[in-house]
Amino acid sequence: MRKLFLLLALFAVGNLTAQGNGDYVNMTFVKTTPGEDYGTIINEKWKELAQMRADEGTITGWDVWWRPGTVEEDQWNMVIVTVAKSPDSLNANAGVMKIRPDYSEMDVEIFQEKNQRARTILYDHVYVNKGLNFAGNQGETPEVPQVAVLNFMKTDIADGYEYEKAENSLNSGSLGDRLGWGLLKRLDELGDNVYNNYMTVDFYDSWQTMMKTREQTVKMPKQMQSVVNMRAHLNSVALWRAVSVRPNQ
């Protein structure tokens, strides 16, 4: 009986971190080219393709986020987020020919050249969801609100398990002014020289709400301090949702 209790206890502890929905998330960080109107390409081509892939079940979500206030010196000003239940699905059933099957080889070449002129891909990262808190969410890919804040985190590899558990515990209850929260673990690159190996994402209904939360200067509670001690908070970047695609019901 004692052994059974111990096994159950170990099983419960081992699943404290299993609060994510297991979504795989591809983040493409883009620098758009002035005057080339990449926004039109997004809306006229890639949004249509994303909707088709979502309706077929290849992906579960596709969002485009603008980074307000950027200047020429900034590395990137847009993030394209693709969400799927399998890492193999992130780039499957893609390509302009899927939505324009009548395109000739010349049409495809012309479009690809136009698309490449309109943007430069700086980074392409893959994450897995390890924590999720959205009101009413039952594990599906959530509908995202208007504003998101990406928090780039770096932990020591030895602290990963405890860090995931602590982040989930800290964000498992009321989120205050946030409409949602997520914890992502990076999969595409590992090692000491990688910029970040985790990311948390805070979601808000408006830019004003997000800014108001930053105005407050409060004494850090002990639970939050324990999380801070396990990771370096490298940067926070606020984003504005431009396009969002989910499967049609």
For residue 11, being part of any structural domain is answered with: no
Which residue, chain included where needed, has tokens 């770096």? 154
For residue 9, being part of any structural domain is answered with: no
Average predicted confidence (pLDDT) for the chain: 90
Q: How many domains does the chain fold into?
A: 1
Q: Which domain holds residue 40?
A: 20-244
Provide the pLDDT confidence category of residue 19 given band limits of 50, 70 and 90: low
Least confident of 119-128, 200-209, 211-220: 211-220
pLDDT: which is higher, 144 or 3: 144
What's the distance, Cα to Cα, between the start and end of the chain in Å? 49
Residue 42 has pLDDT above 60, yes or no: yes
pLDDT at residue 184 in the model: 98
For residue 81, being part of any structural domain is answered with: yes
For residue 149, being part of any structural domain is answered with: yes
Which candidate, 13, 18, 27, places its Cα nearest to that of 67? 27
Q: 99-122 pLDDT, tens per residue?
A: 999 999 999 999 999 999 999 999
Q: Which CATH number characterizes residue 122's domain?
A: 3.30.70.100
For residue 141, being part of any structural domain is answered with: yes
pLDDT: which is higher, 30 or 135: 30
Residue 222 has pLDDT above 90, yes or no: no
For residue 69, being part of any structural domain is answered with: yes
Residue 96 has pLDDT above 80, yes or no: yes
Provide the pLDDT confidence category of residue 139 given band limits of 50, 70 and 90: confident
For residue 3, being part of any structural domain is answered with: no
Residue 14 has pLDDT above 50, yes or no: no
Cα separation, 28 vs 26, in Å, equals: 7
Burial of 68 (0-12, 13-18, 19+ CB in 10 A): exposed
For residue 80, being part of any structural domain is answered with: yes
